Structure 1
Amino acid sequence: MKYFSLIVLFLTLIACQNKVDSGQKMKTINYIDRASGEARTEKVPSEGMLKWLYSSPSGKLALNVLFKRKFFSALGGWYMNTRISKNRIPEFIAEHNINLNEYQRDSVQDFSSFNDFFYRKLKPGARPIGEHLVSPADGKILVFSTIKDVRSFFVKGIEFTLTDFLRDKVLAEKYAGGAMAIIRLAPPDYHRYHFPASGIASESTKIKGHYFSVSPLALQKSLEIFCENKREYCTLATQEFGEIVIVDVGATMVGSILQTYQPGEVKKGDEKGYFAFGGSTLVLLFKQGKIQFDSDLIENTGKELETTIKMGEKIASPSNVL
């Protein structure tokens, strides 16, 4: 009876997203398409629900009482693993113009559930691996040459600190003054992630947390979400870029962060893991003076615009390479 009641509550709240007060306003989410250089507007999945959760008193109450909790995301993950969830796939593909020809399984009938589709694998060669440091995932990226730039970019809420984010003061001090990249994966994106460089990968360290959304509509409110959500990180010791910290951040409806790599030597482009259903984020941290981000990414971030990125695309060079 307990779980039946939770399911009823879950479905009722999902239905509420179509009854959001039209007077609630959150700014339009614009980004730059890297291939064309054009500015575009993002279509945010479940936008009505997110506006309700982060802009209204009743929504904020539901967010803190229910939506950020593990059982809610677990409930969503349970549904996304059922065969009935497979019925959502064709509409999702059409709505977001997903090209299944890029993937190892290129027919809807090949997937047993929506989650099975969600963390689908690419065909070999579908994402060429570029020079120097590459993006670990498909998504939209922001880059910051120093942590100070991160703090001035996200001005709302509690100040973002590496100590709070990593829950390790000694490790955080090593990256004080260093650079940071944030790669945000929206639900339509490819949800496996890879190593951005070759090197020696450590074991993954888990940090317990909640399950707030990492949608841009939620991040408008504060970057402190990253310091509250469930996350995992590993260090990657490289010759070109020094030691990199790779942080995998979960979110609402992300039932699992699953690591598929083995600690030890890895090559650039090797798969590191994947997220189950939901929007997610990867954060890369670099020690001071080790990397130089590509100029277009720096320019777009300076204009408060994310840039679309594909796994394997070059995003930075060593600081000694002009």
Structure 2
Amino acid sequence: MSYIKVNHPQIQIDIDVDRLHQQGFWIPNRLWATTNYVFPERVKRIELQKNAQFPVLSPAVQDFKDWANQTLVTDTDLKNFLTANYPTPTYLDAINAMILDANASINAVYQSLTFHQRMLLIFNMTEVYGDTITQLLNNNQIEWLEDSDEFFDLINAIITNSPQFNYVPLSSTPIAQVGTPFNGLMAVGMGSETGYFLLKDQAFNRQLFSILDAWHTYLGSTDSLTYLDTENAQQPGSWVSSQAYNAGVWKDFVIPNRQDRYLGFSSWTDFFTRTFQAGTRPFPPKSDSVVAIGCETTPWIYDANISPEKNALWIKGNVYSLADIFNGMSDAQGNLWADKFVNGQSYQGFLSATHYHRWHAPIYGQLIQSQVFNGAYYNGSDEFGVTYFSEPEGFGETTDTWLGTASQQYLAQTAARAIYIFHNDSVGYVAMICIGMVEVSSVNIDPGFQISASDQPKDVDAGDEIGMFQFGGSTHMLIFENGKVNLEQWATDINQNNSTVHNLGSTIGHAVS
């Protein structure tokens, strides 16, 4: 009763209730996100309503809701897409359209199951969530959300709580999707056709920034320590539970004060950006010819010949646009950094929410320049959405994979990112790009490593801490000049079904001799 394999001419999904996680553990597919994250949150809302305890929206969410209701869509692509059904669409209309679109796509997946498979899934959910689950299956239809009121209520529930360690109710696996609850909520909507247009809209993204900013403020407060409470270590969602320890949440990390109720952490953010114990992640001895990896990394993709063009080549699945990645970033003489890396190599990896989220310099040499670019938070490539049911060759994941997984190359060009340019005479120029995925909107360059085009270069050693993500899972790139560096086999011969993590400080390449 733990395994369901579903094959369909257009939809192939693997409903394995013991292995519903995707590669990297924190990336849910849409059916997983609906049944294992959105459904339990909807159940909580129904139970509150039964007791006449209607949620009061926080000021940030109420402002967001009011803005959506009162503001007309001006983005040309989104407006044109909505006009057939909404002659003068507001952003609330766009949200409702995204919900209808996403409900249709997730229900198509659900209806592709046999009657026996659906009954089995319902039985499993009822066992965990109780009879309330039947209210979420209207006429044997499955929905992502009921309406926009529920959308705002669930956002409110997220930003007034800290992320939980997820010991998934329908799974015996200790860890599945961890620490990115907005991801769990938005995984379905962002994969819809409406969601694609809405979530790349600049005005909408500014509102999302305000929501995430309010949440980050909460996560930096002592109120966010609920799931780090050692006096209630086995509560559901606890980061100090036996399940969390067994999943490696604390492996090699510093615990500031084992005698303190919250282990010496001042907030959830303080815990999330925890440091490694000394000596557990050594960097190579000093040498100009070596390049180390500056993040914990699970290899994702390698490109041996990066394209310079500013166009939609990422739609093909493997091709990077240097112009979009660097977004016009230039040196003091106005030379575009993108031009420096034409036909060069790139390595891209990702790190999960349980991993170390600080960044370190990859070479011995100089930091020439650094810069942060803001971007879209939940926008993914339309090539990989359920609307098109297209699986890029070589991705090795089902068409129902969470959109952000298959869109990591696209995110490198559109998401919030910090870009560092390093140099020494042996390896040449090396760009390190740290990219926020979904709610990882905070990419922070350490003040000592904020170098503008007009500043003098800063001497660095491999291993110097240069910045951090403050929340969630994320992806990162190293980009090399053409003909300057030979990369290790693990960085070029990548099997995306292999989730092996390579430690911070591991050698990724050497200068061409």
The TM-score, its normalising length taken from structure 1, stands at 0.76
d(CA) in 1 for partners of 2:254 and 2:107?
39
Cα shift at 1:224: 2.2
SS at match of 1:102: coil
What is the CA distance between 1:57 and its match in structure 2? 5.1
1:177-256 superposed matches below 5 A? 177-212=343-378, 217-221=403-407, 223-256=409-442
1:164 corresponds in structure 2 to 324
Q: Helix, strand or coil for the counterpart of 2:494?
A: helix
For the Cα contact (< 8 Å) 2:190–2:378, is it kept in 1?
A: no
Distance 1:296 1:226, change over 3 A: closer
Q: Distance in 2 between matches of 1:313 and 1:6?
A: 46
Deviation at 1:185, TM superposition (A): 2.2
Q: Which amino acid aligns with 1:211?
A: Y
Contact 1:156–1:221 (Cα < 8 Å) also in 2: no
Task: Kindly name which structure, 1 or 2, has the bigger radius of gyration based on alpha carbons.
Answer: 2
1:99 to 212, 233, 250: 250
The CA distance in 2 between the partners of 1:306 and 1:212, in whole Å, is 23
Which of 460, 473, 476 is equivalent to 1:282?
476
Q: Which residue of 2 aligns with 1:37?
A: none
- Summarize deviations over 1:1-27 as a string: whole Å, max 9, x none: 742525899xxx9xx9xx9947549xx
Whether 1:133 aligns to 2:291 is yes
1:251-276 CA-to-partner distances (Å, cap 9, x unmatched) read 33224222224351010111111111
Q: How many residues are aligned here? A: 295
The letter for the 2-side match of 1:171 is W
Q: Please give the per-residue CA displacement for 1:104-151, whole angstroms capped at 9, x wherever unaligned.
A: 526442111111101112222120213621110113123333226xx9
Shift of residue 190 of structure 1?
0.4
The verdict on how the C-alpha distance between 1:212 and 1:75 changes in structure 2, with shifts beyond 3 A counting, is: same
Aligned counterpart for 2:218 among listed residues 75, 79, 100: 79
Give the deviation of 1:54 after TM superposition.
3.1
Contact map agreement 1:166 1:172 (CA 8 A) in 2: yes
Give the strand-richer structure, 1 or 2. Answer: 1
* Aligned-partner Cα distance in 2 for 1:222–1:190: 19
Bigger shift: residues 88-97 or 279-288 = 88-97
- Give, in whole Å, the separation in 1 of the partners of 2:504 and 2:267: 24
Determine whether 1:146 maps to 2:305: yes
What residue in structure 1 maps to residue 463 of structure 2?
A: 269
**1:55 counterpart residue number:** 191
Q: TM-score, normalised by structure 2?
A: 0.50
| CA distance in 2 between partners of 1:163 and 1:236 (Å) | 18
**What is the percentage of aligned positions where both structures have the same residue?**
20
Q: 2:60 — aligned with what?
A: 3
SS at match of 2:348: strand
Match of 2:269 in 1: 115
- SS of the aligned residue for 1:79 comes to helix
Over residues 284-311 of structure 1, what are the superposed CA-to-partner deviations in whole Å (9 max), with x where a residue is unaligned?
111001111111332225x675642111
Distance 1:182 1:254, change over 3 A: same
Partner of 2:504: 311
Shift of 1:48: 4.3
CA distance in structure 1 between the aligned counterparts of 2:468 and 2:257, rounded to whole angstroms: 19
- 1:29 equivalent in structure 2: none
Distance, in Å, in 2 between the alignment partners of 1:286 and 1:123 is: 30
Q: Which residue of 2 aligns with 1:32?
A: none
After TM superposition, where is structure 1 displaced by more than 6 Å over at least 4 residues in a row? 213-216
Q: Distance in 2 between matches of 1:71 and 1:251?
A: 17
State the alpha-carbon separation in 1 of the partners of residues 296 and 263 from structure 2.
Answer: 24
